[in-house]
Amino acid sequence: MKDIAPGLETLEYVFPGERPAGDFAPVLAGVVGSGNLEVLVEPAPGSDCSIRIETSARGFGGIWEAVVRDFHARHPLAGVRVSINDMGATPAVVSLRLDQAVSELTP
């Protein structure tokens, strides 16, 4: 617990996309709750994949970067904005939720 300071931390990552996601209805996966997170995937102009994280667990930027980098390696989407509201989910849950969200993208 001592590692977790109060207040939200915001992290942003941008990756150059490879696979255009096209136009699709925004997808929401998960719920904001203790140990859980909410992932919103929306179409965005341009060819990047931008990921914005708001998390209640501060100080884990290095792990977030590795998690979203691996996510982008699995799904090199282009033209996508991913918004994450996290309440202390483990990396395993984050990865699972991201994969669930992407699997629901239907042009």
Partner 1 sequence: MPIPFASMDRMNWNTKAIDRADRLARARHALGRRLLGKQVATDAVGALLEATLQPGDRVCLEGNNQKQADFLARALVQVDPQRVHDLHMVQSVLALPEHLDIFENGVARRLDFSFSGPQGARLAKLVSAKRIEIGAIHTYLELFARYFVDLTPKVALVAAQAADAEGNLYTGPNTEDTPAIVEATAFSGGIVIAQVNELVDAGTTSLPRIDVPAGWVDFVVRAPKPNVIEPLFTRDPAQIGEVQVLMAMMAIQGIYAEYGVQRLNHGIGFDTAAIELLLPTYGESLGLKGKICRHWALNPHPALIPAIEAGWVESVHSFGSELGMEDYIRARSDVFFTGADGSLRSNRAFCQAAGHYACDLFIGSTLQMDLDGNSSTATLGRITGFGGAPNMGADARGRRHASAAWLKAGQQARTGRGGAAGTPRGQKLVVQMVETFREHMQPAFVERLDAWTLQEQAGMDLPPIMIYGDDVTHVLTEEGIANLLLCRSDAEREQAIRGVAGYTAVGLARDRRMVENLRDRGIIRRPQDMGIDPRDATRNLLAARSMRDLVRASHGLYAPPKRFRHW
Min CB(62)–partner 1 separation in Å: 8
Give dist(CA 53, CA 39) in Å, integer: 9
CA atoms within 13 A on the CB side of 34: 0
Task: Give the one residue of 28, 46, 63, 76 binding partner 1; rule: CB under 8 A.
Answer: 63
Give dist(CA 5, CA 42) in Å, integer: 30
Min CB(93)–partner 1 separation in Å: 6
Binding site for partner 1 (CB under 8 A): 1, 3-4, 35, 57, 60, 62-63, 66-67, 88, 90-93, 96, 99-100, 103
